[in-house]
Amino acid sequence: MTIQEIVQNALDEDIGSGDITTQLCVPPERRASGRFIAREPLILSGVELLPLLFGELDVKCSNGAALGPGGVIAQVRGSARCLLTYERVSLNFLQRLSGIATLTRKYVDAAAGTRCRILDTRKTTPGLRQLEKAAALAGGATNHRIGLYDAVLIKNNHITAAGGVRRALEATRHAQVPVEIEVRTKAELEEALACGAKRLLLDNLTPHEAREWIGIIGGRAVVELSGGITLETVRAYAETGADFISVGALTHSAPAVDINFRLELE
């Protein structure tokens, strides 16, 4: 689905057969201007959608910009009816995507100064993955695989279904995409390394356990940590020597930020 289709679906969902409130209350010839204004500290994302909604547009900030309360994101002009009808859809996108970027930046800042990079995941809103991963990128994260088609990630259930770590890795030996495997025990860790695994996912370890396992790996593979890592604990995990930390909360639990749309008649 293209970004244009995503925006059109959102408009169709909201407007339906017509914005009856605006059509009844606002004369068709009336023109207005409006400003999108941050009402709390935030990292901006989603401004690339505004040109798909508004013709007369002056974007003041780019994705990834840090704004404080009162910061102007963009100014629009046009038919008052049009501005009012598109107000909620545009705010929904900006608030949701900027919320993801804002939370992501907090994780990135918490890991700053270590070698570890923050990854997003596939735990996205159905139909909005492209936009939500762009928002995580705006917040400073590194994008993980986009879907099931652009990388191999052998999780515990794949290992069970394949018949073990060795069989799973041997089956993917000639894959033309990156291959990563999750290991749950030290025995699986040693087996994966013996089979030549170059990227390992360590899930649900404590920071102490992660540091110990990374010591065993000894640089033989790239290491990703995941599993319930929070803003309060991410620093401890980042200091274990891991290369990456993946955080599902960036997209599945980010709160929307507060952005206001102020309309004025021309």
Instruction: Tell me what pLDDT residue 225 has.
Output: 98
Task: Look up residue 35 and give its two tokens.
Answer: 């400003």
Residues 234, 155: Cα–Cα separation, whole Å = 22
Instruction: For residue 27, count CB atoms less than 10 angstroms from its CB and return exposed for 0-12, middle for 13-18, buried for 19 or more.
Output: exposed
Indicate whether 8 pLDDT > 90.
yes
Domain shared by 118 and 221, yes or no: yes
Over the stretch 20-76, which tens digit does the pLDDT of each residue have?
999 999 999 999 999 999 999 999 999 999 999 999 999 999 999 999 999 999 999
| 78 in the same domain as 135 | no
* Token couple for 124: 């996205």
Residue 111 to residue 245: CA distance in whole angstroms:
9
Q: How many domains does the chain have?
A: 2
Rounded to 5°, the CA angle 169-171-172 comes to: 65
74-122 per-position pLDDT tens digit: 999 999 999 999 999 999 999 999 999 999 999 999 999 999 999 999 9
pLDDT of 196 over the 90 cut: yes
pLDDT band at 1 (very low <50, low <70, confident <90, very high): confident
Average pLDDT over residues 137-143: 98
CB atoms within 10 A of CB 228: 10
Calculate the CA dihedral of residues 227, 231, 233, 234 and round it to 10 degrees: 70
Contact 20, 255 (CB under 8 A): no
Considering the domain architecture, whether residues 98 and 118 belong to the same structural domain is answered as no
DSSP assignment of 44-107: ---GGGGGGT-SEEEE---TT-EE-TT-EEEEEEEEHHHHHHHHHHHHHHHHHHHHHHHHHHHH
Task: Give the residue-averaged pLDDT of 224-234.
Answer: 97
pTM of structure: 0.95
Residues 188-217, mean pLDDT to the nearest whole number: 97
- Structural domain for 150, as ranges: 109-252
For residues 131 and 98, state if they share a domain. no
Both 247 and 260 in one domain: the answer is no
Residue 12 backbone phi and psi in degrees, to 5: -60, -40
Q: What amino acid positions are annotated as catalytic residues?
A: 88, 123, 155, 182, 203
CATH number of the CATH domain containing 224: 3.20.20.70
Q: What pLDDT, on a 0 to 100 scale, did the predictor assign at position 145?
A: 95
